[in-house]
Chains A and B, each alone.
Chain A
Amino acid sequence: MPATIPIGLTVNGIRHELHVEPRWLLVDVLRDGLGLTGTHIGCEHGVCGTCTVLLDGQTVRSCLMLAAGADGAQITTVEGLATGDALHPLQAAFRDAQGLQCGFCTPGMLMVAHELLRENPRPSEAEVREAIAANLCRCTGYQGIVDAVLLAAGSGRAGAAR
């Protein structure tokens, strides 16, 4: 076994002390080590964005980051969005506008949308499309996702007629 490195991670507000192999990916530590399987693995080469989490408030692709490199970081995964039985407003907007279908890309999309709305609370449709173009969705054709983000931003296209 290769030698391990001690690290500290705060994930969704819970502090963890871990020993990780130098080559372990952050996504594997989150999923296998901490049991947070809401973060999914799509491509493992940084294109699809499915594994996106927030690290100190910024989106990162947890399949491209070594866990050891996240030492000391505050991480938010999809499990950290809802409060008890109440979905986060962004999750609720995804539900209302059907910004999902199979749900596999959804955690990553939520993270990207979260970051966008924090930095730009009233984005245009073009700005939403540019932001979420970092992530792939194979089900929705993106329209429901775009509508969901606009709905969450309160700029309203989500009620668009069928």
Chain B
Amino acid sequence: MATAERRWIGKDVPRLEDPKLLAGRATYTDDVKVAGLLHAAVLRSPHPHARIARIDTSRARALPGVYAVVTGEDAKAMTNPLPAFCAEPVTQYALAVDKVRFVGEAVAAVAAVDRYTAEDAVALIDVQYEPLPVVADPFAAMEPGAAKVHEALPSNLVFEKTLSFGDVAGDFASADRVIRRRLRWHRASAQPLETAGAVCRYDPIAQKMDVWSNTNMINYVGWLLANTLKVPASKLNIFPMYVGGSFGSKHVLGKVIGIAAMLAKACGRPVKFMEDRVDNLLASENLACDRFYDAELAVTRDGIFKSIKVRVVDDYGAYFQFGHGTHGNALAQVTGPYRMASFEYGVQCVLTNKCQQGVFRGAGSDAGNFCLERLVDAAAQELGIDPVEIRRKNFIAPDRFPFKTPCGNIYDSGDYQAVLDRALEMAGYAELRRMQAEARRQGRYVGIGLATAQQRSVYGPTEFWFWYDSPGLTTAPESVGLSLGPTGEFVVTMFSPFWGNSPETVVAQAVGEEFGIDPAQVTVTYEDSQHALPGAGPGGSRMTVMLTGAVVGAARKMKDKLARIAAHQFEAAPEDIVFGDGRATVRGVPDKSMTYAELGLKAYWFKLDLPAGMESGLEARHTYDHPYLTKPSADRTDLGAFYPMMGHGAHIPVVEVEPETGRVRFLRYVAVHDVGTIVNPKSLRGQITGGITQGIGMALYEQSAYGPDGQPLAGSFMDYLLPTAQEVPRFEVGHVETPSPFTEYGVKGGGEGGRMIAPAAIASAVEDALAPLGVRVHEVPLTPERIVQLVEAARR
């Protein structure tokens, strides 16, 4: 069906989520209150690397109001290690066992009558540390003789692999030129305004653990958490909460849940542990990748890209929670929107005495885009080709889809020329260049950036195992329950939480579309993990595709039953029943029609009017599996389709840089995205402007920096700088819609593109602004200090 014929998909439907959020009536984790609730606080390590010689908790335990104190010894006895998505033996508990591996690692936790008392008790815990040599630099960490972060591993180089696809050597040998860049992408942190937390309640008689937490994976890996907490999986119940932002940082939250659960078991009372901001900055699952790239692009003298080689060292910090997952992400789009027949990707994952990496919007593809687009700009400069034209020359043409990349991932659809054209048109590119020339004559440093980059969507789990020889998971489904009550009201049940996105609106729009009713009439609820159907939750830009797919599947089942009821009533054939305008009608016979209320009442309470043998009631449940996932080949020369719903975007930021102060100011910001069929323009625009703002943070301000001694340098919002309304411009957002052939309605995911593309575009703009000084940009964030250093170095 063409977009124009759709009634609700593609419309600016007001979000269903908003009224309760605006009224302050949504229940976030910190708002949960259960009878007997106690509050936890955590003692954290001041050392980057130290043996825990002794912990004396007696003074803390003696404090009135304290119910329990737990340490690493208790963690070892009461819990199993946290879920880890890697094959290597990197063991992590909710509390440090035997030694601490980063500043901020949890050493002990207290449950008390209130948070104030718990904090008092934390101050009374005495820990004797024996400091160990600190490994803060990933290259030093790989040197022979470096202190080991994990003794069970042969070295700090926890994982190393090079994957090669196509004739890389031949393509490089036949190239006219090789463009080389060393690039640096520092670690940022997701920093949702709501920290991570959990309320845990344990019933020792029933062995039942209830968990209220802002974790995402309430049923995807709930069974793994049950193993961690040493409760039967069937007796772990996780309640989905309203979540105050995640951006990838709340996938598992094993540390937070583990601490609250241990304390709940230890004192027999429900316990809440909410991270404070310092906990969240120093020790959560917030941190993004931290990469050193050596990258080479093989080109012809005409500017045709032939092949790319990427070598990357990634500083993982002290644990390996998601393994090399962010490199699997990056592999989805190594060659970007460009035709290239081959590529090589070599990665070294290194453990150091810093907080572990988690996931942050973009999940490693953001850094990959930065790397590729920096190479493309470098190629344009070195070959003397316009940066717009060099991209045009290499784009995959619209008639080449579905397009198979050298590693076997599929790009479902795209029209990259159209996206670029629209962005250039919106920006008034030629006029911008004239304005820039005039500004330069006045001695101003105005730059126009460009990045044309991919935004992979709809996570598939094979990216986790194609690095290894052994197979792993092959599905990441999402489910809904759909019911039509006896009064004709539709209710959708979801099995994954609201994470700051718009899942309620999405499912309501899809129900509206399928049944011809106003989405505002749809009620949306959430179910806890004990009552759940399979779901992997928000992440990897998947929810809009997966939820619309699940709703359409459930609607198909529901319509099948409704058609049989109506057909029975009207002595018609079920295939002649059509749905729309709040009713089911016999095709071409408008007076043979029943409203949903009439159908509902029949289905629930008039069994004898139903076709023989039909169950009463109207409920349909549907599990929608990833619409297009194929297995990697046994020899891993073809990784299969693992991120095939491929969006695209072109960003044109216009900046003015002050070389003396390093200040960057935005004059314009144009962004055009193609994420297939748009479900809700308004909520998509919010995802794009919010994502770009995080990209501005990555490009200019945000860095979870550590000193050479392993001490964190950004332990508050005074040091970790998020953009405010004054640092970001009014964004000009445009769209191109190239539907996916593989999903319902042609939807692709659009949650990450802003942050995945903006850093590359802004780096390009700053470099362009400072081009008269000969500055080259190889590193983000471009803090004022770094810009001044670049300018000074160029002037010397």
Contacts and interface: CB of A to CB of B under 8 A. Distances in A.
Nearest to A46: B717
A106 B31 contact: no
Nearest to A45: B716
Given A37-B30, A101-B245, 5 more contacts: A1-B64, A37-B31, A42-B277, A104-B194, A144-B685
Nearest to B114: A32
A141 B692 contact: yes
A102 B194 contact: yes
A96 B14 CA distance: 7
B21 interface: yes
Interface string A104-126: 11110010000000000000010
A162 B717 contact: no
Contacts of B28: 37, 40, 104
Interface in B670-729: 681-683, 685-694, 716-718, 722, 724-726, 728
A17 interface: no
B676 to A, nearest CB: 16
A142 B693 contact: yes
A23 interface: yes
B733 interface: yes
A77 B718 CA distance: 26
B15 A138 contact: no
Interface residues of B, number: 64
Given A21-B116, A37-B31, A101-B690, A162 B193 contact: no
B244 interface: yes
Given A95-B18, A95-B22, A162 B685 contact: yes
A55 interface: no
A43 B735 CA distance: 36
A104 B500 CA distance: 9
Interface residues of A, number: 60
Nearest to B37: A32
A82 interface: yes
Contacts of B14: 95-96
B23 interface: yes
Contact of A103 (B17, B274, B690, B691): B17
Interface of A: 1, 21, 23-24, 28, 31-32, 35-45, 47-48, 50, 77-79, 81-82, 87, 91, 94-96, 98, 100-107, 110, 125, 128-130, 132-133, 135-146, 162
A100 B22 contact: yes
A47 B690 CA distance: 19
12 contacts: A37-B27, A45-B716, A48-B193, A48-B717, A95-B19, A95-B22, A100-B21, A106-B21, A107-B24, A141-B692, A143-B689, A146-B725
A137 B23 contact: no
B194 A42 contact: yes
B716 A141 contact: no
A142 B728 contact: yes
B400 interface: no
B30 A41 contact: yes
B127 interface: no
Q: Which of B23, B728, B730, B733 has the most CB of A within 10 A?
A: B23
B244 A102 contact: yes
A78 B728 contact: no
